[in-house]
Amino acid sequence: MAERDPFETAILHGAALALRRRAERQAKIAKEGTTIGERGVVFRTGEGVLADRLSMVLSQLAEEFEGAPS
């Protein structure tokens, strides 16, 4: 198999890093949108739920970029 072009490697690394940073930001938004009630009931805002899902998807995508064959 041919070696990956250094520019392609740099692009994938940069994209994975950007995705990880955004995933961390979304995880923070998800945490801020979550409250635990008196009886242990979890209340989540719609934004918090979407941010949590987005964080997971961005992390998975970053993993795919990081694990791309060389």
Residue 59: give the domain boundaries.
6-66
Q: Which long-range contacts (CB under 8 A, 24 or more apart) does 62-70 make?
A: 62/15, 62/16, 62/17, 62/19, 62/20, 62/23, 65/12, 65/13, 65/15, 65/16, 65/19, 66/12, 66/13, 66/16, 68/12, 69/1, 70/3, 70/4, 70/9
pTM higher than 0.85, yes or no?
no
Domain assignment of residue 49, yes or no: yes
Domain assignment of residue 45, yes or no: yes
pLDDT at residue 69, rounded to an integer: 67
Domain assignment of residue 38, yes or no: yes
What pLDDT, in 10s, does the model give residues 14-69?
999 999 999 999 999 999 999 998 899 999 999 999 999 999 999 999 999 988 76
- Indicate if the pLDDT at residue 70 is higher than 70: no
Domain assignment of residue 1, yes or no: no
Q: How many domains does the chain have?
A: 1
